[in-house]
Structure 1
C-alpha cells in the first residue's frame, strides 16, 4: 500500500509540474498558464497596445496607461521586442517569468533589459500583478526614467592636401521685427538689393506675423565679411535686425558650395533617410558631401539611461558609447577650386566649371552657378556636348588610319541618311586637312567621315571615353550617354555631339583629360575611395589627338587663348530647344599642366566667344599667387 501511495504522489507531481518534481527546462507550456499570459502581455507591449496589456493584469494601477506613456516619452522608445522568456519559479499559486526586452531609443540605439513578470493564480486563471520593475529591476512606484544624449564635434571636410574646407564659425542672421517696421516696401526693397531676398517672401512673412510684432523673422544668413559690407545700408532701415548664429564655414562665401553642401536642422525627409540614430532637432548635412558623408562626419551620439528615485538620487542604468566623427579627405585642391570660383565670379547665366587630374580622374575643382539654385549642374546637369564631342569622333577617325595632315573636305552642307546638315555660321573650308577642319570645327567634315566608318566605330570610341560607363563620383552624377545610332542621320548628328548624346560638365572634363593622357579615368571626389573604371584609347591616337587640340588654340576657334602656353582644347556650341534659330550652350574643354577641365555656360551662345574667355580666366587665376585669388562673394 505504501508503494502504491508513493507511485500516486509521483504521478500527481508530474501532472502538476511542480518545480521540485521536474526540471524547469522540460516544463511544457500550458494554455492559460503564466508563460501564455506573459507572451500575450509582451506581444501587446511590442504593439504598444496598452489596452490589451491591461486586460492581463490583476489590480492594475489606476495610472497604468499614464506610466507606460511616460516611460515611452521620457526614454524616446520607438519600438520594443522581447525574447528569452523563461519560467523562474512556480509554486502553483504564484509564478515569476524572466524575459529580455530590447527597446529602441530614438537617437541612441537599442537598450537591453532583463526583467521579470510576477503572476498570481485565482482558481484556474493566471494574471499578472504589475509593478514598475517590469520596466527595469528594482524600479519602484514614483521613480522616473530619463536620458541624456550628446553629439561630439562634427569632423571636417579636407582638401587633397589636408587643408580644412570646413571650420566652425559664426554667421549673422539678417531678419525683421514686424512691430518695428515703418515702411514694408523699403524693407523688402533693401533686402532684395543687398542680399537678393525675394520681396514676396518678406511681405508674406510680415503678413503671417501680424499678431507677433516682436517676433524675429530671419530671412538670410551671411558671413561676417559680407555683413560688414551690407550693414551700413541695412541697419538704418527701421525694422531690420541682426542675430549671431554658430555655423560651419567654408574658406569663402560660395566656395565649392554645391559640392561641400550645407548643414542645418534635420528635415523630415532627411530624418527618414538617416535612420533611428537621428531625431528631430539634430544638426546634419543637408546637401553635398555634408549629406553624403553625414555618418562619417557626425560619428555617433553618446548618452545615458537614468533612473531618478522618488526618494531622491539617481543612477545610470545604461551607457551608450558614442563615436567621434572622422575627417573626410576630398580630392579637391584649394588653389584649383579658388581659381574655378574666380573664373565664374561675374557669370550671371547658369554655368559650371570642372577640373580633374589627367593621371587619376581625381576631381580637383567643381563649381556650379547660380549659387542660390539647388541644382548642381556641374555633376548632374545633362546637355548635348556639341563640337567638344569631336574629340571622341577624331579619336575614332585616327584609329581608322587618318592623320592630322590627311586631306578632307569641308563643304557648306552634306546629307546623311536623308537629313541635311550645315556648318555653323555657313562656314566653308573646301579641301583642307583634318587638323584645320578640327581646329575650325567643321561639322560637315566630321559628319561625312563618321558615316563612312564601321557602324560600331564611333560607339566603341565613345565607350573608350567613358560614355555609357557607370561610376561613383562620391555625389550623384549620371555620367554620359551615347545611344546606338539607328541610321546615318543619327550617326552624323552624334558625330558632332548632337542628337541623343548627353553629358555632364564633369564627364567632359574627363574626356579632355583622356585625350591628353591616353587613358580615360572615372572621376572621383573622395581621396580614400577606390579607383573607378578606366579605359585606354586606341593605340597611337593620343599624340595626334593632342596635335589637333593644340591647333584649336593656336589657329582655330579658341585662338583668343593662344597666349596660354601649353593649352590644348576644343570648343563647342551645342544646339538645344525648338526655337529658330536654335539656342546654344557654350562649351570649352581643355588640358594644361596635367589638369583636364570643362567650362559650360547654359544657353550662353558660342563656345569660342563665351566659354573660352572663362577658361582663360581660370588658368590665369591658377597661375597667380594663391593669396591673389579672391573667391567670389555669394550666399552660404
Structure 2
C-alpha cells in the first residue's frame, strides 16, 4: 500500500481563499494509476466541473448531474476540498482509493467525511465506477441528503442593573398591497397623520412596487397598543393592510430605538459584512447595538447533516453544536432613558438628549429624534456647539488667572482680524464681572478675553475636554474636533464654539460632566467595556466653573429652570448655514446630581428659549420617578 498523499492544487487554493494552502509535492503511485485518476477526479469535483468528472467514469449514470445538484442544494454546499487519499486495495483489474473530503456547508461550517472511489481497469487506463458511496459510505442508490439548521434564542440587551431591555413579543406590520391601492396620496396622508411617515417616501415606494401589485409592501412595525389606536383611521383606506409577526420589544415604543437598534431578515449588505455562519433568511441585528453586538447576542447555529434513505427514517451523519447567545449589559438606566424619551415626546424638530455619569462617562440615556429617521444624531451628528463651548474657553481663562469676580467688559461689538462680531440680539452689559458675562453669554467679552491667551491655550483646554480625542462608545460616534485656530478671526469664532469647532451631542454631555469631577471621561455604552481615555482639568478650575454654570441658571440665560435645586448649565445658540439672518441650533448642557446631560434641537433657534424647557421636562420627569 502506498503512503498517504496530501492533495493540494493552486487553483483550488485560489478558489477557496484558503490562506494555509500552498503547493506541496504529492506522493503518488505509478503514473496513470488509480491515485492519479483519483487526484484528477477530486480536482474536478472541487471545481464543480461535472464534465471533467464524467470523462473519468466507467459508465455515467443518467442522473449524474442531477444527483450532484441535489447533493449540493440539500446540504447547502458552498465549497469542497480534499485533504488526503490512500490506495486501500489494488489487483490487476480493480482498485479502491480512500479519500477525505471537507465540505463547507453554508451557515454551518465544515463537514468532514471519509469515503471511497472504486476503480476498474479498462485496457491500460483506470476508470471510476461511480455510486452514491462517493458522497458518503452509507449512501445507496435512490438516497438523498438533507440538513437541519436553527439558531437558539437571541440573548437580551440589558440595562445597567441587568434587567432585560429587549424581549420577544408581537408587533403588527402596517403596509399595503399596491394593486389594491385606489389613491396613493390618500394612503400616504393617512400614514403620515397616524404614524408620522414621510408621505413622499410612501408614494415613491408604492410607485416602485407597481411591478408586483400583489406583494405586501411593509412600511412600519407598531406595538399592539399603538395598532389599536391607529387601526380605526387606517383600516378603511383602500390598500392598507396589517400583518402580525414576532419581534424584539423594548420597554416602550421608541425606547432607546436608535441605540438598541432593530432586528430583521438579513440584508445583502449585512450578509456580506457578517460572513460565516450567516445565510440568506437569517434574522439578525440591523442597526444599533443589535447590529454591533450581533455575534455575541446571536451565538452560533446548530445543525445536522442527514442521509434520507428512499425508505426508512433519516440517519444523522453529523451534528454541528451551536452556542447560545450571551446577553450584553449596557450602561443605560431605565428611569433616565424614560425621562429623556418623555422630554422629547412633543419635539417636532430633529433633536437629541444624552445623559452621562459624571464619575465614569457611562451613558445613562441617549435619545434621538425623529424616530423614523435612521440618523442617530445624538451619537453621530456633528454640529457647532455654540456658546456651550464657552465652558471650555472659561476653563482656559480660569487656568490663566481669571476669577469669576474679575472685572471684564461686554461691549456691543468686538473686532477680530477683519471680522466684526456682535452679541446675540445686540446685547451689551458694559463693565461687569466674568460671572455675569458667562451667565448671560456675552460673545464680545469672550472674544476679547481669549485674544489674551497664549497661542495654544484654547486648543489645550479643548483637549482636556476630549476634543480631538478618539474613543469607542460601543456604537459609531466621531466625537468632537477643535482645529487649531489659524488667525485672530478663527480664534474669535472658536472661542464661542463657532467656526470650525464641531461636536456631537453625546460629547457635549461629557463636557458638562467633566465640570462635576474635574476629570473628563470618554463616554461608553457597554457596562463591561474598558474605561476609555480621560483627562484632568486644570487645578482649581472645576470649582469656579461650577459657580459660573450655576449662575447661568440662577441669573442668566437658563433662568427659566432656576427652580431645579442644584442645576448648573450653559445655553448655546449656534449659527449655521448661509441664510441672513443665520439659522441657529438650540443647545443646553447641564449638570445635576452626578449627571451631565445635553439637550440639542437642530435648527431649533435660541438655546435658552427652546432647549432649556426640554431640559426642565427631563429633570421634572426624572424627579417624579424618584419619588
TM-score by length of 1: 0.90
| Alpha-carbon distance between aligned partners in 1 of 2:443 and 2:485, rounded to the nearest angstrom | 18
Contact 2:297–2:327 (Cα < 8 Å) also in 1 = yes
Match for residue 98 of structure 2?
Answer: 98
CA positional deviation for 1:162: 1.7
Q: Deviations over 1:392-415 (max 9, x none)?
A: 111111111211112222222222
TM superposition shift of 1:428: 1.5
Q: Which residue pairs with 1:246 in the alignment? A: 246
**C-alpha displacement of 1:441:** 1.0
- The corresponding residue for 2:525 is 525
Q: Distance in 2 between matches of 1:207 and 1:408?
A: 63
Q: Is the 8 A contact 2:154 2:297 kept in 1?
A: yes
2-structure distance, mates of 1:251, 1:169: 11
Partner of 2:481, secondary structure, is coil
Please name the residue that 2:335 is paired with: 335
Which secondary structure state, in structure 2, belongs to the residue aligned with residue 408 of structure 1?
Answer: strand
1-structure distance, mates of 2:225, 2:626: 20
User: What's the counterpart of residue 278 of structure 1?
Assistant: 278
Distance 1:62-1:620 versus aligned 2 partners, 3 A rule: same
Q: Secondary structure at the match of 1:625?
A: helix
Aligned to 2:407: 407
Aligned mates of 1:72, 1:158 — CA distance in 2: 41
Is the alpha carbon distance of 1:434 and 1:23 closer, same or farther for their aligned partners in structure 2, counting shifts above 3 Å? closer
Deviation at 1:242, TM superposition (A): 3.2
Are 1:592 and 2:592 counterparts?
Answer: yes
User: Taking structure 1 as reference, are residues 23 and 276 closer, same or farther at Cα in structure 2, changes over 3 Å only?
Assistant: closer
Deviations along 1:477-506, whole A, 9 cap, x unmatched? 111111122222212211111111110000
1:136 and 2:168 correspond = no
Q: How does 1:545-584 map to 2 (within 5 A)?
A: 545-584=545-584
Q: Does 1:620 align with 2:620?
A: yes
Residue of structure 2 equivalent to 1:256: 256
- CA 1:482–1:201 in structure 2 vs 1: closer, same or farther (change >3 Å)? closer
Counterpart position of 2:376: 376
* Distance in 2, Cα, partners of 1:31 & 1:446: 89
- Change beyond 3 A, Cα 1:197–1:395: closer
Cα deviations by residue, 1:597-622 (Å, 9 ceiling, x for unpaired): 01100011111111111111111111
Alpha-carbon separation, structure 1, partners of 2:481 and 2:213:
55
Within 1, Cα distance between the matches of 2:436 and 2:451? 20
Larger gyration radius, structure 1 or structure 2: 1
Instruction: List aligned pairs for 1:68-79, cutoff 5 A.
Output: 68-79=68-79
Between 1:143-152 and 1:76-85, the stretch displaced more is 76-85
Q: Where in structure 2 are there 5+ consecutive unaligned residues?
A: 6-25
Point out the more displaced range, 39-48 or 537-546.
39-48
Give the match for residue 13 of structure 2: none
Q: Deviations over 1:509-560 (max 9, x none)?
A: 0111001111111111111111111111111111111111111111111111
Question: Residue in 2 aligned with 1:496?
Answer: 496
2:521 and 2:283 map into 1 onto residues whose CA distance is: 36
Q: Distance in 1 between matches of 2:209 and 2:501?
A: 51
Inter-partner Cα distance in structure 1 for 2:458 and 2:508: 17
**Equivalence for 1:543:** 543
Normalising by structure 2, what TM-score?
0.92
1:192-271 matches, within 5 Å, as: 192-199=192-199, 217-237=217-237, 240-271=240-271
Q: Distance in 2 between matches of 1:31 and 1:489?
A: 84
Superposed, 1:19-98 pairs within 5 Å as 19=1, 28-91=28-91, 93-98=93-98
Q: In structure 1, what is the Cα distance between the partners aligned to 2:185 and 2:27? A: 82
1:436: how far off? 1.1
Q: Distance in 2 between matches of 1:445 and 1:347?
A: 33
Aligned equivalents of 2:614, 2:414: Cα separation in 1: 33
Any residues of structure 2 matched to 1:274-353 within 5 Å, and which? 274-353=274-353
Distance in 2, Cα, partners of 1:329 & 1:108? 28
Structure 1 vs Structure 2 CA RMSD: 2.3
Partner of 1:604: 604
Cα distance in 1 for residues equivalent to 2:367 and 2:476: 15
* Partner SS, residue 139 of structure 2: coil
Deviation at 1:24, TM superposition (A): 7.2
Provide the residue aligned with 1:8 in structure 2: none
Q: 1:40/1:408 Cα in 2 relative to 1: closer, same or farther (>3 Å)? A: farther
